[in-house]
């Protein structure tokens, strides 16, 4: 009952923020550029043609009416025509979004699966060489420009050594796995296409690693700090004094506490992954939404810009809600309403 | 002899220098004996306790000298394997802080069952751990039944509900009972109680003390009751050690300690117990000394109203003054004045 | 040199002054004392790293200020020398030359100007917008708090880089516009930080005491709350300086930041990308410059955080 209240309260902060975001992006995209119609038609079009298109696009209406119309369209599954692909932006997003979600989700899992153990190790080996190494990695990991390390790794691992493919999401000479969800990993697993799975994984390694590089460092540091904080807790002393086996204490009892404290950061980091996708997809020619977004930005394709931005906002909101659910699930104090988050 | 701490010296490296925190503490507990360890905050009683359980962080702490014999084996020399076979299994701790001493994100059941199942091992084999609930459901079930049984023994009204609860859902008194049940779950021969219930209100604390006393008597186990409250120690123990600034000042059977305290510090402590008669409270002037450069000779001498010049040069040793009554004070050592 | 020294002295004084006002000990007295020793040692080691960071930051500032004297070919911001197009690194051109024969080293040196200006101005805007809003929200509370924090939530519901990308797309690609675009998504983080801290500081006794003694709102905010925030703001700003520069470089890399021929590091790396792997120097050195700059601010910020003994988020 209380858990439901807690989740409802979280939704009540997420949903208005998302609506606010849609208005903000809409205003940015419509007000400042002035003439989307001119951009669409190119410099040769006559003034009348531009006026005609402005009217068709509804750009001559007051802004709030434009927004209401846009929302109506959204409820019909339309996000406006892309000037570049000449398709509805919703169709484009449906085509490109799975690639981006696959990349960011794999990167996030990688960051958690690598960052958390590293955090535990550096905490347990505090002030030993492992810990110093971890600190060094953390400081440089968050300072390295993603595009630069991406390019360097591409150059060395893919180009010079040929261990991994340089760009793209799948081998162009082979058919991609049967389209079921659009997530190649899931699709190839579901259709038991092991060759495709192998290829998908090979193509995923470099981009997801580059994307996860800095988050690994951040998760590692937070887990380390939380684990060290746990050592001072009364329950640890009590468990030690009453003979709880060491690995059970560290990897079950302390780690769950530390992980709960890390969850908030992981939620924030998903935003970092989504932003990083814009850079990483450009470097690795990953056929995802972020690369589509960058192209839309450069060609001033405003319907696409709004669509991509909202998709990013929505993905971020959903992940953060999932994190909230998980938070309540893992921490009884939240679930039972004894503690505010 | 169940537990024999012999001449324990513990130093701490600090920024100012080496703090000589324990300076030759000796203490013994017989099978089934109830012993109180009394002293002000900062006198080193919790350090003694941590050293005994080997949960003293080293460094900063360093055990310089001494032995801690438990059933004739030195705890300080034990390997982790041997230590884990003793700690929690044969010596158990009831901590001071009730709510904070339980893990906030696991149910009482989870914590008790894990303890009952895995106590005594240095590390759990993860394969076995994962397999337990899968194939040997019985193992966890038996452990759960045991846990339930132990909760009943500490007078918990609705043990089924408590097992399913998280610590936040329970009151402080209830958590303290759970902690006692956890400590007793392994049927130890020595229970160490670090002022349990101090954080609770007085009535609950009294209930906890009564419960503890009752359980200890029924199970016939020995208890080391550590407290700063002489009144509570009188309630809980047959024999009391009075500790001052890292040294044992006096030890005597409880009644004798109260009827004829010998050490000026003990006398001061007894005088500062609030009485219902409404007489004026007496305190001991001054405070616990600095451990980096403690006073020469007797550590209590700067606060002692009967101190003679010799007290500031020679450290007094524990010396019997009556049967089972020892005191570390020159005033009670005729030989010292003759020599 | 003397300015170098005075900054160092200020830094060390700040470090020691803060040590005197550390929070009370926790736990056992001896553990606390040991903790103190350990922290001092730790701080000393850390301070070597943070002094390195400080030295690098000062070096960067120096490089930016005297770029026209330090750069071997100061004209190469815009000049064209086709005779040395794609010249590999050599004694005359340690970092090589780009497609139109401009000296990469000179351009990297001039790039420090752009990056530092970008970082500084972004933070100045973010702080001067974010901090007052946070103070108002936290101190006044009520409707003001609700309105400001809901607004902040909107901006926080999207990663700052994505917002910066969207804004930069509608503005002509200049340095000012990059700065505007990045600041647009940067201030809410300060608002949230300050609001949270003001709320917790407000609870503390001394502010209560101050208010009951008849201190005005203005006095309480500026004399009691702001100084408490200062150390955390300084640390956050130092760390953020690196991240703002990184964001600016990423905008440049994506072709939405400062345009060529301006020597912006991200833009330079992006231009060089199409000549990889043969002309590796065109990408490697500008990227390295970004890395070192961001690392310098991180080292300094990390050291300051330890010295001030505060936790950020």
Q: Would you call C166 and A297 a contact, using CB atoms and an 8 Å cutoff?
A: yes
Nearest chain B residue to A331, by CA: B105
Q: What is the mean pLDDT of chain A?
A: 85
Residue with tokens 């949230």: C192
**Beta carbons of C189 and C130 less than 8 angstroms apart:** yes
Residue C24 has pLDDT above 70, yes or no: no
Contacts of C161 in chain A (CB under 8 A): 275-276, 278
Shortest Cα–Cα distance, B292 to chain A (Å): 25
B130 touches chain A (CB under 8 A): no
* Cβ contact C34–B59 (<8 Å): yes
DSSP for C75-131 reads GGGT---GGGTTPPS-SS-TT-B-TT--BHHHHHHHHHHHHHHHHHHHHHHHHHHHH
Domain at A93-298, CATH homologous superfamily: MetI-like (1.10.3720.10)
Query: Predicted confidence band at C17 (pLDDT cuts at 50, 70, 90)?
Result: very low
**What is the domain-level CATH number for residue B241?**
3.40.50.300
When mean pLDDT is compared over A162-166, B105-109, C86-90, the highest value belongs to: B105-109
- Top residue of A100, A147, A167 to mutate, by most chain C CBs within 10 Å, is A147
**Least confident stretch, A291-295, B93-97, C213-217:** C213-217
Quote the mean pLDDT of chain C: 77
Q: Which of A29-38, B180-189, C104-113, C263-272 has the lowest mean pLDDT?
A: A29-38
Mark yes or no for CB contact C28/B47 under 8 Å: yes
Can you list the residues of chain A whose pLDDT is less than 70? 1, 31-43, 340-341
Ranking A138-152, C166-180, C267-281 by mean pLDDT, the lowest is C267-281
Peptide bond just before C261 cis, omega within 30 deg:
yes
Predicted pLDDT at A117: 93
pLDDT score for C6 = 38
Residues from chain B that touch A238, judged by Cβ atoms under 8 A, are: 93, 95, 101-102, 179
Asked if the model's pLDDT at residue B339 lies above 60, the reply is no
Side-chain-facing half-sphere of B302: CA atoms under 13 Å: 11
B176 found inside a domain: no
Q: What is the pLDDT of residue B111?
A: 92
In a domain, residue B281? The reply is yes
Q: Do C162 and A232 touch (CB under 8 A)?
A: no
Distance from CA of B45 to the nearest CA of C (A): 11
Domains: count for chain B: 1
Is A338 close to B168, i.e. CB distance below 8 A? yes
Residue among B15, B46, B291 whose CB faces C36 most closely: B15
Q: Which residues contact C7 (CB under 8 A, 6 or more apart)?
A: C54, C58
In the stretch 244-273 of chain C, residues with CB closer than 8 A to chain A read: 246, 249-250, 253-256, 266, 269-270, 273
Neighbours of chain B (3+ CB pairs under 8 A): A, C
Tell me what percent of chain B is helix, strand and coil, each rounded to the nearest 5: 40, 20, 40
Residue C150 has pLDDT above 70, yes or no: yes
**B60 contacts on C by Cβ (under 8 Å):** 30-31, 33-35, 37-38
Assign 3-class secondary structure to chain A.
CHHHHHHHHHHHHHHHHHHHHHHHHHHHHHHCCCCHHHHHHCCCCCHHHHHHHHHHHCCCCCHHHHHHHHHHHHHCCCCCECCCCCCEHHHHHHHHHHHHHHHHHHHHHHHHHHHHHHHHHHHHCCCCHHHHHHHHHHHHHCCCCHHHHHHHHHHHHHHHCCCCCCCCCCCCCCCCCCCCCCCHHHHHHHCCCHHHHHHHHHHHHHHHHHHHHHHHHHHHHHHHHHHHHHHCCHHHHHHHHCCCCHHHHHHHHHHHHHHHHHHHHHHHHHHHHHHHHHHHHHHCCCCCHHHHHHHHHHCCCHHHHHHHHHHHHHHHHHHHHHHHHHHHHHCHHHHCCCCCC
> Cβ contacts (< 8 Å) between B166 and chain A: which residues?
332-333, 336
Interface test with B, best of A230, A239, A242 (most B CBs within 10 A): A242
**Better-predicted residue by pLDDT, B21 or C131:** C131
Say if the Cβ atoms of A274 and C162 lie within 8 Å. yes
Domains of chain A, residue spans: 3-75, 93-298
The mean-pLDDT minimum among A31-35, A170-174, B262-266, C31-35 falls in C31-35
Closest chain B C-alpha to C38 CA, distance in angstroms: 9
- Is the pLDDT assigned to residue C143 strictly greater than 70? yes
Residue B224: inside a domain: yes
pLDDT of residue C13: 36
Between residues 209 and 238 of chain A, which touch chain C (CB distance below 8 Å)? 225, 232
**Residues of chain C neighbouring B61 (CB-CB closer than 8 A):** 30, 34
Query: Residue C7 — pLDDT band, cuts 50, 70, 90?
Result: very low
C-alpha to C-alpha distance for B130 and A251, rounded to whole angstroms: 13
Q: Is residue B126 one of the residues assigned to a domain?
A: no
Whether the bond into B60 is cis, omega within 30 of 0: yes
Q: What is the pLDDT at residue A38?
A: 67
| Domains of chain C by start residue, with CATH | 47-308 (1.10.3720.10)
The answer to whether A233 contacts B100, with C-beta atoms less than 8 Å apart, is yes
Domain hosting residue B328, numbered range: 3-90+186-337
pTM over 0.95: no
* 8 Å CB contact between B185 and B142: no
State whether A235 and B104 contact (CB < 8 Å): yes
Strand B18-29, strand B325-327: pairing = unpaired
Q: Which residues of A touch B (CB under 8 A)?
A: 233-235, 237-248, 252-253, 256-257, 260, 330-333, 336, 338-339
Give the residue from B186, B167, B50 showing the smallest Cα distance to B115: B186
In the predicted model, what is the mean pLDDT of residues B105-118? Answer: 90
Mean pLDDT is lowest, of A261-265, A309-313, C157-161, C197-201, for C197-201
> Chain B: nearest CA to C39, how far in angstroms?
10
CB contact under 8 A, A148 and C150: no
* pLDDT computed for residue A118 by the predictor: 94
Is the pLDDT assigned to residue C2 strictly greater than 50?
no
Which residues in chain B are contacts of C33 at CB distance < 8 A?
A: 12, 14-16, 19, 60
Res. B333: pLDDT tops 80: no
Of B105, B121, B192, the CB nearest to A330: B105
pLDDT band for position C28 (50/70/90)? very low
For the stretch B141-192, pLDDT in tens is: 888 888 999 999 888 888 999 999 999 898 888 899 999 999 888 888 899 9
Residue numbers in B near C30 (CB within 8 A):
12, 14, 19, 21, 47, 60-61, 291
Residues of chain B numbered 142-181 and touching chain A (CB < 8 Å): 166, 168-169, 179
């Amino acid at each position: 009952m209380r858990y439901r209240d807690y989740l409802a309260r979280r939704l009540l902060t997420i949903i208005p923020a998302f609506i606010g975001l849609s208005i903000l992006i809409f205003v940015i995209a419509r007000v400042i550029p002035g003439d989307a119609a001119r951009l669409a038609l190119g410099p040769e079009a006559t003034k009348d043609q531009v006026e005609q298109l402005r009217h068709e696009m509804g750009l001559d209406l007051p802004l709030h009416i434009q927004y209401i119309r846009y929302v109506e369209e959204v409820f019909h599954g339309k996000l406006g025509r892309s000037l570049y692909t000449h398709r509805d932006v919703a169709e484009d997003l449906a085509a490109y979004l799975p690639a981006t979600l696959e990349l960011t989700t794999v990167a996030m899992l990688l960051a958690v699966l690598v960052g958390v153990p590293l955090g535990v190790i550096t905490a347990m080996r505090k002030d030993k060489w492992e810990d110093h190494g971890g600190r060094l990695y953390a400081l440089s990991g968050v300072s390295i420009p993603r595009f630069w390390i991406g390019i360097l790794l591409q150059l060395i691992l893919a180009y010079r050594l040929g261990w991994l493919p340089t760009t793209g999401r799948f081998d162009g000479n082979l058919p991609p796995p049967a389209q079921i969800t659009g997530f190649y990993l899931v699709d190839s697993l579901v259709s038991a296409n092991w060759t495709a799975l192998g290829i998908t994984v090979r193509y995923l390694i470099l981009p997801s690693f580059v994307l996860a590089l800095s988050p690994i460092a951040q998760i590692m540091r937070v887990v380390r700090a939380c684990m060290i904080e746990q050592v001072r807790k009364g329950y640890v002393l009590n468990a030690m004094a009453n003979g709880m086996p060491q690995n059970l204490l560290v990897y079950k009892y302390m780690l769950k506490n530390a992980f709960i404290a890390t969850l908030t950061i992981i939620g924030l980091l998903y935003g970092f992954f989504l932003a990083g996708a814009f850079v990483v997809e450009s470097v690795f020619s990953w056929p995802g939404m972020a690369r589509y977004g960058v192209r839309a930005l450069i060609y001033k394709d405003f319907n696409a810009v709004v669509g991509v931005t909202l998709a990013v906002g929505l993905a971020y909101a959903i992940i953060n809600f999932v994190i909230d659910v998980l938070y309540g699930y893992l921490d009884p104090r939240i679930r039972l309403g004894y503690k505010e988050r | 002899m169940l537990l024999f701490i012999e001449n324990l010296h513990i130093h701490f490296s600090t920024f100012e220098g080496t703090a000589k925190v324990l300076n030759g503490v000796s203490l013994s507990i017989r099978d089934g004996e109830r012993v109180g360890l009394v002293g002000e905050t900062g006198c080193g009683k919790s350090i003694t306790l941590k050293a005994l359980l080997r949960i003293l962080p080293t460094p900063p702490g360093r055990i310089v000298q001494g032995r801690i014999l438990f059933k004739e084996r030195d705890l300080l020399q034990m390997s982790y394997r041997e230590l884990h076979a003793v700690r929690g299994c044969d010596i158990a701790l009831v901590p001071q802080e009730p709510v904070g001493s339980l893990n906030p994100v696991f149910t009482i059941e989870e914590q008790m069952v894990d303890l009952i199942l895995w106590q005594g091992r240095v590390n759990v084999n993860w394969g076995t751990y994962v397999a337990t609930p899968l194939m040997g459901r019985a193992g966890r079930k038996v452990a759960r039944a045991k846990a339930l049984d132990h909760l009943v023994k500490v007078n918990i009204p609705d043990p089924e509900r408590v097992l399913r609860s998280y610590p936040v859902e329970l009151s402080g008194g209830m958590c303290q009972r759970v902690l006692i049940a956890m400590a007793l779950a392994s049927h130890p021969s020595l229970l160490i109680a670090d002022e349990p219930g101090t954080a609770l209100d007085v009535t609950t604390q009294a209930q906890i003390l009564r419960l503890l006393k009752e359980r200890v008597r029924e199970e016939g186990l020995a208890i080391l009751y550590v407290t700063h409250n002489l009144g509570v120690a009188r309630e809980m123990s047959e024999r009391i050690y009075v500790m001052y600034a890292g040294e044992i000042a006096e030890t005597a059977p409880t009644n004798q300690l109260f009827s004829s305290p010998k050490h000026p510090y003990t006398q001061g402590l007894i005088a500062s117990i609030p009485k219902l008669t409404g007489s004026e409270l007496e305190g001991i002037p001054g405070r616990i000394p600095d451990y980096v450069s403690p006073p020469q000779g007797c550590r209590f001498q700067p606060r002692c109203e009967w101190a003679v010049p010799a007290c500031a040069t020679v450290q007094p040793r524990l010396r019997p003054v009556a049967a089972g009554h020892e005191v570390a004070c020159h005033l009670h050592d005729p030989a010292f004045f003759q020599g | 040199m003397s300015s170098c020294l005075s900054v160092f002295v200020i830094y060390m004084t700040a470090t020691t002054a803060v040590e005197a006002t550390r929070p009370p000990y926790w736990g056992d007295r001896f553990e606390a004392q040991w903790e103190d020793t350990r922290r001092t040692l730790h701080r000393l080691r850390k301070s070597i790293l943070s002094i390195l960071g400080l030295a690098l930051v000062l070096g960067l500032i120096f490089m930016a200020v005297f770029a026209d004297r330090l750069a071997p070919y100061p004209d190469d911001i815009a000049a064209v020398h086709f005779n040395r197009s794609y010249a590999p690194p050599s004694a005359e051109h340690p970092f090589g030359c780009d497609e139109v024969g401009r000296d990469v080293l000179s351009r990297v040196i001039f790039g420090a100007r752009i990056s530092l200006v970008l970082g500084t101005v972004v933070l100045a805007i973010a702080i001067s917008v974010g901090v007052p809003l946070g103070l108002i929200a936290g101190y006044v509370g009520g409707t003001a708090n609700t309105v400001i924090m809901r607004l902040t939530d909107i901006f926080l519901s999207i990663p700052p880089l994505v917002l910066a990308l969207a804004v930069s797309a509608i503005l002509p690609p200049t340095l000012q516009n990059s700065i505007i675009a990045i600041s647009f998504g940067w201030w809410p983080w300060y608002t949230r930080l300050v609001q949270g801290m003001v709320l917790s500081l407000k609870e503390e006794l001394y502010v209560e005491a101050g208010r009951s003694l008849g201190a005005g709102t203005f006095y309480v905010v500026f004399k009691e709350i702001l100084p408490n925030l200062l150390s955390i703001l300084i640390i956050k700003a130092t760390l953020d300086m690196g991240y703002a520069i990184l964001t600016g470089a990423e905008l440049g890399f994506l072709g939405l930041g400062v345009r060529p021929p301006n020597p912006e590091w991200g833009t330079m790396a992006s231009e060089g990308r199409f000549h990889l792997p043969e002309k590796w120097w065109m990408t490697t050195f500008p990227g390295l410059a970004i890395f070192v700059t961001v690392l310098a601010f991180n080292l300094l910020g990390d050291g300051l955080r330890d010295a001030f003994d505060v936790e950020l988020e």
